[in-house]
Chains A and B, each alone.
Chain A
């Protein structure tokens, strides 16, 4: 069946490609596009700069058929995994090769946004060129082992001087957020690197090899909450969520847990301030508040952007979306169109001074050479 369909496709492909490019040229020269956007019979390639089976891949494969239904002409959406270079490779390739006809999109995650913010030498892409149409947020919860003898965030200060260990994927991964958070709270944590993922970190925690850990919301809800009842985990705080004005609020998934800014105040007795906190918030935004996003490449015409925006909006507003998406996305509002643009603007804006500060912090603290 597949080959049959493929033969038919490949036969018409050349003509369609020619027609599409002709239409493209037409729409560029004639300022006013004659007809509405239609992807009938086309194939959208969605680049995911990560391996098959990971979080971002699952996220994309969840969305692909749903968005396809809502795009004009219902094109097939295929996910194309281009892993490598800590996700910079796929993003670089997208920057270099993507066509602006609405058939090339990329889905990035915090791991793509962090090297960009840090000014990693491997980064040859610029988010400023791309247009986001969806921002998927998540949250995170920090927890400790009951052996440390504290019950809540209020007692965090008593951990100073104790031997705290944290199993990490690397200082420039999403782990930058918890590591910097502990540093801001003046709590010394020894990071042990080389973990293959957050799951491996959690396993090290369960084995008792480390005594502090964090997980993103969905993993926390499914895999850590059962351990609370067994008395193996003491939840301390969530990172929080950003409200419309960019202030930290409690995470609706964890209303009983204080967010990081509250904990800052408990520990230091004043509202959060200073470069370190500003940097933390920037990376929190890029790693959690707007963790994953769908982007269209440079120069995509407005009508194509609108078509995508409408399709994504229709997808997330569907009646059964919430129930279907909970397992993959957790209970967070998906930001579309203008809100997605705003979310990523907040997440990807970092001043040169702040960037230098975090680079210096990584070098002095973890010997990272970027």
Chain B
């Protein structure tokens, strides 16, 4: 082993290796900063050049690219509230409020320092873990993976907001939407209305963008200010690093979580950040700041998601089973280079494995350092008046959503989920709970079904299942204890607290809008149950069961609202709490939804490029009141940028009836 270790170290430290590694890192950063593209597009861009390269240098570039994907996507998560990839969705929760408070630089530096730490620590763990990984991975069968999804679901307890029934109902909506499409056991199509798009299920990227990014954009537009409320950004970047040092044990635990969950094939990396985030909330005494810009809410997911990438290497290298989308492309690249993954990666090819692991660590250092260096300047973006930024961000979000399946339905889904997000934000239905439900739905159902088929009910007695079950129970116990504790704290400190965000919100007295929303959710569950009853037993039992439980829970919410229990935790309406209602200067809630809907409808007719051009001009002139010159410059730069990007990356932009009917010249085709 020491031999392999030294050989690897020698390879990693050569000049050419480092040079190509850095090249991969820079390419990765440049692409990764663009939401929706992430590493997959970057790797695909790189693959044609890999062929014919010397294997180790090609490998260096590949790793450089993969390593920084979960690093650079942090920029948009923190600065704009747009989750750059599924690995940084949890970062949005606290990173973006920090940016809004004027602490973008601090949030970014904390995030990048955590990424760096997670990546490095992950590499240390992997060096030892890789030797015993094979039996460990083989020990995690469907039964254990099912229990892990339950553990993930238990995080709803701490992320569920003020009202538990509402939190659980929100999670249920996620579970329901996550089960749209083919049933894992039978392939029957559920809740698809005969629509081909829905048959493949709703893509996570689109849901993440719709549920988090769109509501924030609309909210900021209505307030019509810059993202950052403070004009000064402050010299926060030293503070961010100090934050990490102060919370080093949290970062350490989250890196371990990232490494282990990332290494388990099948669960997918998209839950890791949520588990880490939930863990941070659970193990913290004063958890009121979470969701409103607590730096620990940035440190936890960021230190786990870089460690996760290292963990995901394990099943890729040892079994040839990629743990994530970017790992799938990495695997393809390895095969093209001529490295065949398999058991030999821990025996005769152990030096290659170590080369990969340590290159990953160095790439993390280079990437995070570059981002740290940049963050000071990039953070200034948050001081630009929002009306000028908005068309760019809406374009970027639409483009990112479209990359999910490259179908115009992606945009419609984005809008639909966006409206759901806007309403959930307004009525304080916890969106993290919704997303956890969505992410876990298919894995939960699949693994439960498989575990039952493999072992029958006996799977509940497997040692791994019992251990994870015990951890879940402890996690729920702590969540419950914290909930009661903080409830007590609330009652005695409520009057003394000076935190503006935590002050007792204004309770609306007109519950009409809330009743309508809760009623619609109730009906959705009723439909889910009806749909489940149309399927065969195996195809419908999961959704039917979920809907049955959720009908009761959402029924309780609805009952409390219908009976006008004004003082119950269920009652919340942001229009009232934020004082929007009755304020003539604030546009109506749906005003900007119509703008975005207009853009999407226009895509169906004239395609993306023409639509965004028109959207830019109209928006800048009407909403931002920009000068003609400025409008023209901004519009044309956006259009040229999108067209160039699409061409270089070999990506389609949405095309409409116009393009179907008439042969258009590039780039309008």
Contact = CB atoms under 8 A, between A and B. Distances in A.
Interface of A: 2-3, 6, 9-10, 13-14, 17-18, 21, 45, 51-54, 57-58, 61-62, 64-65, 78-85, 89, 122, 165, 167, 170-172, 190, 192-194, 196-197, 199-200, 202-204, 206-207, 209-210, 219, 222-223, 226, 327-328, 366-369
Contact of B184 (A85, A171, A194, A328): A194
Contact of B321 (A62, A199, A209): A199
Contacts of B321: 197, 199-200, 203
Contact of A2 (B405, B648, B667): B648
B336 A58 contact: yes
B217 interface: no
Contacts of A57: 332
A2 B322 CA distance: 29
Nearest to B666: A13
Q: State the 5 A-B residue pairs at the shortest beta-carbon distance, nearest first.
A: A53-B328, A194-B184, A53-B329, A53-B332, A199-B321
B51 A65 contact: yes
A201 B495 CA distance: 59
Contacts of A369: 188
Contacts of A65: 48, 51-52
Given A10-B644, A10-B667, A51-B325, A223 B335 contact: no
A64 B51 CA distance: 10
Q: Say whether chain B's binding surface is mostly helix, strand, loop, or mixed.
A: helix
B141 interface: yes
B266 interface: yes
B454 A192 contact: yes
A369 B43 CA distance: 38
Contacts of B652: 80
A222 B536 CA distance: 39
A78 B651 CA distance: 11
B219 to A, nearest CB: 33
A53 B344 CA distance: 21
A253 to B, nearest CB: 16
Given A10-B643, A206-B138, A210-B454, 4 more contacts: A14-B665, A53-B325, A209-B142, A327-B338
A366 B644 contact: no
Interface stretch (B232-240, B445-453, B519-527): B445-453
Contact of B138 (A64, A167, A207): A207
A205 to B, nearest CB: 10
B141 A204 contact: yes
B338 A209 contact: no
A82 B406 contact: yes
A328 B336 contact: yes
A7 to B, nearest CB: 8
A14 B666 contact: yes
Interface string B628-651: 000000000000000110011010
B397 interface: no
A364 B52 CA distance: 51
Contacts of A204: 141-142, 450, 454
Given A6-B648, A52-B43, A222 B340 contact: yes
Contact of B44 (A3, A17, A81, A194): A81
Nearest to A324: B338
B141 to A, nearest CB: 5
Contacts of A84: 200, 405-407
A164 B339 CA distance: 35
A209 B454 contact: yes
B609 to A, nearest CB: 13
A190 B450 CA distance: 12
Nearest to B445: A194
A80 B139 CA distance: 38
B459 to A, nearest CB: 10
30 contacts: A3-B648, A9-B647, A10-B644, A13-B666, A17-B665, A45-B650, A51-B325, A53-B322, A57-B332, A58-B336, A61-B332, A81-B44, A83-B405, A84-B200, A84-B407, A85-B199, A89-B196, A89-B405, A89-B407, A165-B453, A192-B453, A192-B454, A194-B450, A199-B320, A199-B321, A207-B138, A209-B142, A226-B342, A226-B344, A328-B335
A196 B266 contact: yes
Nearest to A81: B44
A358 to B, nearest CB: 15
A41 to B, nearest CB: 14
B197 to A, nearest CB: 8
B487 interface: no
A226 B344 CA distance: 9
Contacts of A14: 665-666
Contacts of B322: 53
B44 A52 contact: yes
Nearest to B186: A367
Given A10-B667, A53-B329, A61 B336 contact: yes
B331 A53 contact: yes
Nearest to A219: B320
Contact of B450 (A18, A192, A223): A192
B385 to A, nearest CB: 29
Nearest to B347: A226
Nearest to A55: B332
B650 A78 contact: yes
Contacts of B266: 196, 200
Contacts of A13: 666
Contacts of B272: none
Most buried by B among A3, A122, A203: A203
Contact of B319 (A3, A52, A122, A203): A203
Interface in B180-197: 184-188, 196
A287 B101 CA distance: 58
A165 B454 contact: yes
Most buried by A among B187, B320, B329: B187
A9 B454 CA distance: 56
A10 B666 CA distance: 8
Contacts of A167: 450
A297 to B, nearest CB: 16
A51 B329 CA distance: 9
Contact of A53 (B137, B330, B340, B665): B330
A10 B320 contact: no
Contact of B332 (A58, A122, A209): A58
B104 to A, nearest CB: 29
Contacts of A80: 650, 652
Contact of A3 (B187, B200, B644, B663): B644
B190 to A, nearest CB: 12
B441 interface: no
A79 B332 contact: no
Contacts of B454: 165, 192, 204, 209-210
A222 B446 contact: no
B513 interface: no
Interface in B112-142: 137-139, 141-142
Interface in B650-669: 650, 652, 663, 665-667
B336 A62 contact: yes
A89 to B, nearest CB: 8
A170 B321 CA distance: 18
B137 to A, nearest CB: 8
A327 B332 CA distance: 11
Contacts of B147: none
B666 A51 contact: no
Given A10-B667, A53-B322, A84-B200, A58 B335 contact: yes
A194 B667 contact: no
Contacts of B666: 10, 13-14, 17
Contacts of A196: 266
